[in-house]
Structure 1
Amino acid sequence: MFTSLVIFSGCYMISAEDMADKDVFQTSNQPPLQFGQAKEPRYLLYDVNPGEGFNLRRDVYIRVANLVKVLNEDEPWILVLPPWGRLYHWQTRELGAQIKIPWSTFFDLESLRKHIPVIEFEDYLKVIGKPVIGEVYYLQSYKEGWDKWEEKMDIRECIDKPRYQQDENGKWRGPFFYYDEVYAEKFACMSAQSYAVSMKPFLMKNTTARSVFLDRAEALIHGMFSEWSAEYWTARRSMRFSRELRDIGDAFREKYLRSNDKKDRTELKDWTNMKRKHGDALGGPYLAVHLRRKDYLHAHSKQVPTLKNAAKQIKKFLIPYDVQRVFVATDAPDEEFFEFVQKFKKTKIYRFEPTKEILEKYKDGGVAIIDQWICAHARVFVGTYVSTFTFRIHEEREILGFSQESTYNRLCGSEEDDKECEQPTKWSISY
């Protein structure tokens, strides 16, 4: 157990004592922490900065999942899946506060479990028997900055006021996925400059709690591409959408886009036995485009085309790919979408409009997934500049076996010339 506490600016920070064990995690300028025997299995929880969107959070899952994978090489750990809620793009007013949404709403948990052990947060609370988390580590940067890349992590004074405060009973309270009754027993700020899997020694040797929570886990990065490409793709392939959402997307494809898996050569198998080459998939007889508007009109104004220019660019793909249907995934308001449709004469334009029942059950996140699933099966896809929504579609198409020429395309800004309009980097799947 930790033997002492030091107070920094109102935060209780975990202190440390020297130990001779060379296997204990060594911080860059502090002695290692004491540790004792932990109960089994242990649980790893995590969260992401509130401002991060749905598709970036999916990427963070992969980082943490691969950390759990390497932890399980030595002792059993279970990843607790953080409930979804209140993301920027989830703005459908009639749904109210979209919080406490389990992962099973969006993803196939049995598929995830073929990679690592996972459990929903509410199931974790049932297993533990009370609303408690052992230790929370609030990840932050180094106050002094850095002039070179090197892996390191230290228990430090909190740079900014953290989201956790200690109550009169010594319990740490914070935004634990909007579960007000949940508390933590210990809390510390940790400055970290590290690959995700490099947290393993710290978690195994320097923590004693049955459950450990890493907040702002986006601070932990993937390993070097050359070393971790296959590991990334293994975790990514396990992230299959829920059967229900795939069925809704497939029904839309069949009804409106003359598309089904058998004709399109996109049939799924158990991902652990599924390997596709580029060009194996044909795709449905339609073009799909991710037409990002709203915040992108300001955040990336130079890279966002006018509606007229976007339509002009899309028409260039129709003849080479022999398609006369276009599916649009967009956050554009209705008036902009209808204006876009008017730019086409013979081409049929479609977008997915959820029923009230679908929207209430699967929320805005489910509707976004249906859009991505339909885009992933198109004969050709055209995305949006540096959008994680677009990136996730690229990955789905890599998994399904589409050619890279039909996948890695993006709309150019109306003011970009050919040299400025760099197309997306092609990232080949690894097995």
Structure 2
Amino acid sequence: MQIKTHFCIVLFNTIVLASHAHEKVDVFKPDTHSHAEFGEAKSVRYLLYDVNPGEGFNLRRDVFMRVANLVKFLNDDEPWVLVLPPWGRLYHWKSQDLNQIKVKWSTFFDLASLREHIPVIEFEDYLTVMGEEVVEEIYYLQRYKEGWTNGKWEEKMDIRDCIDRVPYQKDEDGKWRGWFFGYENVYAKKFACLSVQSEAGNMKSFLMKNTTSRSVMLERAEQVIHGQYSEFSSMSVMLDRAEQLIHGRSGQHSTNYWDARRSMVFAKHLRDIGDEFRREYLDSTDENDKTVLKSWTQMKKNHGEAKGGPYISVHLRRKDYLYAHKEQVPSLKYAAKQIKELLKKNKLKKVFIASDCDENDFETLKGFFKKAEIYRYKPTQEIREKYKDGGVAIIDQWIAAHARHFVGTYVSTFSFRIQEEREILGFDPETTFNRLCSESEEECEQPSKWKIVY
């Protein structure tokens, strides 16, 4: 199985690299190739997906990992390529002056790194390969109308009538039209609602047995959960907490989860911007901080190897959290008090703030510090236009991930992603899994330590 998967990835990467040597992406036909270890060559199939429009950037990264590992399992039996859904119209992308649709994954992530895990292709390249602006089948993933049977979880999926109003309609020509990432002429040939209670990996059986289409799209892919990818036994463990359902964490992470996560290396142009800020303002370099990034397939760091730059980093979530989680969000004054204690404990004088707060709140926060130096990253207009709100958020995460000590915000996926980045870099978990407390909390529970597994 490993040989077949490896061949598919190598073959696909070779074709993609060759195609980008020309102005236009060449149409390729992988089924014309053969390989001794693959037996009879099979046509490459394409898996597309989308997520509920209300989900944010960092939850969407989590859904990518679920679907990516589904593609990994599919490649054990036949060649599948994951089509990366263009970014756009996200809730937290508030900059109205920016054109933030049809944003490619290469804007944010290193595609060569992703391809070390599974074959991936940008949506525009997929359209070129197909030779037509079409998705052959869409399955709209939905809950079961009756809920869990007898209140218990069980793996199942069935084609059902649609429960909610779906964002696709059949036109007079019998073509299904809807939102395809801002590409107006794209249509689907077939559409159905699929009620599903399943781990992502278990979608493999459905895709292998129920469709032979060249391209299949899973709409609302967040409906499937990580699961344990057959590496750990009890599905019931994952149902103990809603957080575990969302993030697929149940005491011990699977290696497949972490392989997918480690492959999500930020694009070099964004890392370079963050690294320049670290050097200029925070006296931080990878060599001094022991955070040199190598190929993720070869990088296995022990906890405590990374030292981090001589600063504290803080993710201070405001805006919607001020009412959505008001009991867990500290006032600016109380946040400053906790940061001062961390500075004293770590014998540091610099703080990096990653926050959605406005400039007035940031200046108010700074006013509580007399000796410490407080920084936040402010992008130029050129960087904002080129890399969008998502790129600016990644730069914030990259800088925050390299600090000597990190403290985040209660149940924030933005904080979760920073914690994972620090696990990959090799930080001591005691410096990573921390959060700010509010004045109203009698007991301030700190985040669970979701440690990396190789």
When normalised by structure 1's length, the TM-score is 0.90
Question: Counterpart in 2 of 1:57?
Answer: 60
**CA deviations over 1:2-53 (Å, ceiling 9, x no partner):** xxxxxxxxxxxxxxxxxxxxxxxxxxxxxxxxxxx99710000000000000
Query: Which piece of structure 1 moves more, 120-129 or 39-48?
Result: 39-48
Question: Counterpart in 2 of 1:6?
Answer: none
Q: Take 1:93 and 1:160, find their aligned partners in 2: how far apart are those partners?
A: 30
Kindly indicate whether residue 447 of structure 2 is the aligned counterpart of residue 424 of structure 1. Answer: yes
Q: Is 1:38–1:209's contact at 8 Å kept on the other side of the alignment?
A: no
SS in 2 for 1:384: coil
Q: Is 1:65–1:79's contact at 8 Å kept on the other side of the alignment?
A: yes
Question: Counterpart in 2 of 1:178?
Answer: 182
Q: Take 1:62 and 1:339, find their aligned partners in 2: how far apart are those partners?
A: 38
Residue 231 of structure 1 deviates from its aligned partner by 0.7
Question: Counterpart in 1 of 2:205?
Answer: 201
Residue 229 of structure 1 deviates from its aligned partner by 1.3
Q: Is 2:47–2:217's contact at 8 Å kept on the other side of the alignment?
A: yes
Q: 2:89 aligns with which of 86, 93, 111?
A: 86
Residue 204 of structure 1 deviates from its aligned partner by 1.1
Question: Counterpart in 2 of 1:145?
Answer: 147
Do the aligned partners of residues 152 and 75 (structure 1) sit closer, same or farther apart at CA in structure 2, a change above 3 Å counting?
Answer: same
**CA deviations over 1:336-361 (Å, ceiling 9, x no partner):** 11000001000000000001110010
Q: Any unmatched runs of 5+ in structure 1?
A: 1-36
Q: Is 1:46–1:214's contact at 8 Å kept on the other side of the alignment?
A: yes
Q: Is 1:38–1:208's contact at 8 Å kept on the other side of the alignment?
A: no
Counterpart residue identity of residue 406, structure 1: T
Question: Counterpart in 2 of 1:250?
Answer: 275
Kindly indicate whether residue 255 of structure 2 is the aligned counterpart of residue 230 of structure 1. Answer: yes
Question: Counterpart in 1 of 2:169?
Answer: 165
Which runs of structure 2 are paired with 1:110-125 in the superposition (5 Å)? 110-125=112-127
Counterpart residue identity of residue 123, structure 1: D
Question: Counterpart in 1 of 2:377?
Answer: 352
Q: Is 1:173–1:184's contact at 8 Å kept on the other side of the alignment?
A: yes
Which runs of structure 2 are paired with 1:404-415 in the superposition (5 Å)? 404-415=429-440
Q: Take 1:375 and 1:347, find their aligned partners in 2: how far apart are those partners?
A: 17
Which runs of structure 2 are paired with 1:280-429 in the superposition (5 Å)? 280-417=305-442, 419=443, 421-429=444-452
Q: Take 1:295 and 1:256, find their aligned partners in 2: how far apart are those partners?
A: 30
Counterpart residue identity of residue 424, structure 1: P
SS in 2 for 1:218: helix
Q: Take 2:77 and 2:42, find their aligned partners in 1: how far apart are those partners?
A: 14
Q: Is 1:291–1:384's contact at 8 Å kept on the other side of the alignment?
A: yes
Question: Counterpart in 1 of 2:107?
Answer: 105
SS in 1 for 2:188: strand
SS in 1 for 2:301: coil
Q: Take 2:340 and 2:270, find their aligned partners in 1: how far apart are those partners?
A: 29
SS in 1 for 2:430: coil
Question: Counterpart in 2 of 1:73?
Answer: 76
Q: Is 2:42–2:79's contact at 8 Å kept on the other side of the alignment?
A: no
Q: Take 1:301 and 1:320, find their aligned partners in 2: how far apart are those partners?
A: 28
SS in 1 for 2:399: helix
**CA deviations over 1:82-138 (Å, ceiling 9, x no partner):** 00001111111221x410000000000000000000000000000001100010000
SS in 2 for 1:272: coil
Residue 224 of structure 1 deviates from its aligned partner by 3.0
Q: Any unmatched runs of 5+ in structure 2?
A: 1-39, 233-252
Counterpart residue identity of residue 70, structure 1: F
Question: Counterpart in 2 of 1:221?
Answer: 225
Counterpart residue identity of residue 139, structure 1: L
Q: Take 1:42 and 1:55, find their aligned partners in 2: how far apart are those partners?
A: 27
Question: Counterpart in 1 of 2:298?
Answer: 273
SS in 2 for 1:302: coil
Do the aligned partners of residues 91 and 357 (structure 1) sit closer, same or farther apart at CA in structure 2, a change above 3 Å counting?
Answer: same
Question: Counterpart in 1 of 2:241?
Answer: none
Q: Take 2:388 and 2:42, find their aligned partners in 1: how far apart are those partners?
A: 37
Q: Take 1:201 and 1:379, find their aligned partners in 2: how far apart are those partners?
A: 45
Counterpart residue identity of residue 360, structure 1: E
Q: Take 1:234 and 1:224, find their aligned partners in 2: how far apart are those partners?
A: 13
Question: Counterpart in 2 of 1:127?
Answer: 129
Q: Is 1:383–1:411's contact at 8 Å kept on the other side of the alignment?
A: yes
Do the aligned partners of residues 38 and 268 (structure 1) sit closer, same or farther apart at CA in structure 2, a change above 3 Å counting?
Answer: closer
Do the aligned partners of residues 74 and 249 (structure 1) sit closer, same or farther apart at CA in structure 2, a change above 3 Å counting?
Answer: same
Please identify runs of 4+ aligned residues in structure 1 that moved more than 3 A. none
Q: Is 1:291–1:330's contact at 8 Å kept on the other side of the alignment?
A: yes
Q: Take 1:302 and 1:57, find their aligned partners in 2: how far apart are those partners?
A: 26
Question: Counterpart in 1 of 2:236?
Answer: none
Q: Is 2:42–2:78's contact at 8 Å kept on the other side of the alignment?
A: no
When normalised by structure 2's length, the TM-score is 0.85
Q: Take 1:254 and 1:330, find their aligned partners in 2: how far apart are those partners?
A: 21
Q: Take 1:142 and 1:205, find their aligned partners in 2: how far apart are those partners?
A: 21
Q: Take 1:184 and 1:86, find their aligned partners in 2: how far apart are those partners?
A: 21
Q: Is 1:38–1:210's contact at 8 Å kept on the other side of the alignment?
A: no
Q: Take 1:124 and 1:94, find their aligned partners in 2: how far apart are those partners?
A: 29
SS in 2 for 1:236: helix
Q: Take 1:204 and 1:71, find their aligned partners in 2: how far apart are those partners?
A: 8
SS in 1 for 2:97: helix
SS in 2 for 1:303: coil
